[in-house]
Amino acid sequence: MSSLMWVYVLTGIVSIAIALLLVRLTHISAQVNPETEPTKLKGSDPHLPASERLQRIINEEIGKVAGSAQRSREIGKLITNVFTDELNEKIEQNKLELRQKYESVISRKTENEEIAWKKYKKIVNEKKQTEAVIRSIAEGLVVVDAQGKVVMINPAAEKLLGVSRQDKVGKTLTEDMRDEQLVSLSQGSPDKEDKEIELVSKQDETKKVLRASTAVIENENGQTIGMVSVLSDITKQKELDSLKSAFVANVSHELRTPLVAIDKSLTLILEKEAGDLSQTQEQFLSIAQRNLKRLSALINDLLDLSKLEAGKMEVRRKSMAINNVIQEVIDSLNNWAKSKNITLEKKIEDMLPDVQIDPDRLAQVLTNLVGNAVKFTPNDGKVTLEAKFSDGKKELEVSVRDTGIGIAPEDLPKIFSKFYQCGGERMISDVNGTGIGLSIAKEIVELHGGRIWVESEKGQGARFIFTIPLISG
């Protein structure tokens, strides 16, 4: 019995010793914060970490119900650990979620920024490219705003105009420039026609010819916000043009000179000024002269073409009855028509007034039309020349109708173009020409203020019609 008592006492002492040791340990562990006083070690102490406070509160509460302090502490610790773990896990999870959200926002933002940057770089590159293109094109380029102030001018234009960009941007092109022709570049009318500008170089007094193609720049509302002009140096081209014209004129003259001498000689012989002729001699000389006239006509066409191209074709009007011109043409072509047994018929309306025409030029038109008609009409046909009032007596209508092979529909629109010759049946080996007769005819009629056109069906003959306005008086 006494030994049992001893065991009890000993166990109690050991328990107390362990409890003291634990208290001591707890005290030491609580001394993380050295200023913490043991008396204040209460669950409400705000200086303690939350988990510690929680543990204390739990310890206190459990201590009220649990038997031993140590057990209550163990339970408390266990509960606290569970809570803390749960809490930490929640916190970690929240942290992770937040971080992920934040990262996705950041990455989206970066992505957008990258796109914007790429776009910006692309635009800058494109701008540089465009500028490089504008800088390096051989044609001059000038852009002016609605006030006529220069917005952009490329090096080619600086060179062509003899100005520098620094001096011109923001100013009108014509400032400090005497050349009035340039005004058209900055002020110009809104028509898109090309203009030719002549400049005299400041350095060496040479003349420069520029072609300016100007277009109006409009914004999306259709308001004019400026003009862009493309300048090209056509000095060389102009020189070549005039050289060519001079050459053609000269060659034509040289070609014609001997022809005139031959023609005059033949005329003198044929008119028997140099003595009598046998019938055969007369016949052959007539053939020679007829062909000579054809040759002359071809050469005249060439000369006319050069004038036409140079815009130098002129008409010298005289008051004259159209009948005279028609009769003259019939007289000159009658022999040829007769050789094909083609009748040249004339139908002139009564009381036609005199018209203001260039008789030589109009005879040229009619000779061409009647000549074509005779060419393309088979033997025994008929060519009718008609003159009448049209458009309520405001104009004179002259027409040449044949009974020939007609013109294919595909040829009709092109028939008045330069060098155009119809294909197919109209290409008969003995029927040839320069292919410019009708384009010259058109030009002459238009110089008289009239119109020319053709009506035809294949195989039904052709009818060429032109009008001459009657100048009221």
Partner 1 sequence: MGEDKKILVLVVDDQADFRELLTFWLQSKGYAVITAENGKMAIDQIKAKSPDIMFIDLRMPVMDGIEAIKAIREFNKELPIIIISSYIDDPRVKEAVSYGISGEFFKGGDFKDGLSLLETILRTHKKLKR
Phi/psi at 373 (nearest 5 deg)? -60, -45
Among 89, 175, 218, 360, binds partner 1 (CB under 8 A): 360
Compute how many residues bind partner 1; rule: CB under 8 A.
23
How far is 265 from 250, CA to CA, in rounded Å? 23
C-alpha separations of 166 from 25, 67, 151, 170, 173 in Å = 90, 101, 11, 9, 12
- Binding status of residue 252 toward partner 1 by CB under 8 A: yes
Task: Confirm if 142 and 229 have CB atoms less than 8 A apart.
Answer: yes
Q: Which is nearer to partner 1, 273 or 430 (CB)?
A: 273
* Paired tokens of 455: 């009506």
Q: Which amino acid is at 437?
A: G
- Binding status of residue 268 toward partner 1 by CB under 8 A: yes
Other C-beta atoms closer than 10 Å to the C-beta of 293 total: 15
Among 256, 317, 382, 388, binds partner 1 (CB under 8 A): 256
- Binding status of residue 334 toward partner 1 by CB under 8 A: no
CB of 253 to partner 1, least distance (A): 6
- Binding status of residue 375 toward partner 1 by CB under 8 A: no
C-alpha separations of 208 from 165, 310, 372, 411, 466 in Å = 20, 19, 44, 41, 41
- Binding status of residue 331 toward partner 1 by CB under 8 A: no
CA 235 to chain centre: 24
How far is 398 from 463, CA to CA, in rounded Å? 10
CB of 199 to partner 1, least distance (A): 26
- Binding status of residue 37 toward partner 1 by CB under 8 A: no
Range 287-326, binding partner 1 (CB under 8 A):
296, 300, 303, 312-314, 316
- Binding status of residue 261 toward partner 1 by CB under 8 A: yes
The single-letter DSSP state of residue 39 is G
CB of 320 to partner 1, least distance (A): 15
Task: Confirm if 397 and 389 have CB atoms less than 8 A apart.
Answer: yes
Among 70, 84, 232, 265, binds partner 1 (CB under 8 A): 265
Q: Which is nearer to partner 1, 406 or 437 (CB)?
A: 437
Show Cβ contacts of residue 461 under 8 Å, excluding neighbours closer than 6 positions: 377, 401, 402, 403, 404, 405, 406
CB of 437 to partner 1, least distance (A): 16
CB of 259 to partner 1, least distance (A): 8
CB of 260 to partner 1, least distance (A): 5
What sign does the CA torsion over 13, 18, 23, 28 have? positive
CB of 344 to partner 1, least distance (A): 21
Q: Which is nearer to partner 1, 23 or 261 (CB)?
A: 261
CB of 294 to partner 1, least distance (A): 13
Q: Is 355 helix (H, G, I), strand (E, B) or coil?
A: strand
- Binding status of residue 253 toward partner 1 by CB under 8 A: yes
C-alpha separations of 109 from 106, 119, 123 in Å = 5, 15, 21
Among 68, 267, 281, 291, binds partner 1 (CB under 8 A): 267
- Binding status of residue 391 toward partner 1 by CB under 8 A: no
Return the residue matching tokens 């009748």.
Answer: 343
- Binding status of residue 263 toward partner 1 by CB under 8 A: yes
Q: Which is nearer to partner 1, 84 or 265 (CB)?
A: 265
Cα–Cα nearest to 247, from 305, 316, 197, 298: 305
How far is 292 from 369, CA to CA, in rounded Å? 20
* Lateral strand order in the sheet of 140-145: 150-153, 140-145, 224-233, 207-218, 194-200
- Binding status of residue 273 toward partner 1 by CB under 8 A: yes
Among 189, 257, 283, 291, binds partner 1 (CB under 8 A): 257
Chain positions contacting partner 1, by CB under 8 A: 252-253, 256-258, 260-261, 263-265, 267-268, 273-274, 296, 300, 303, 312-314, 316, 360-361
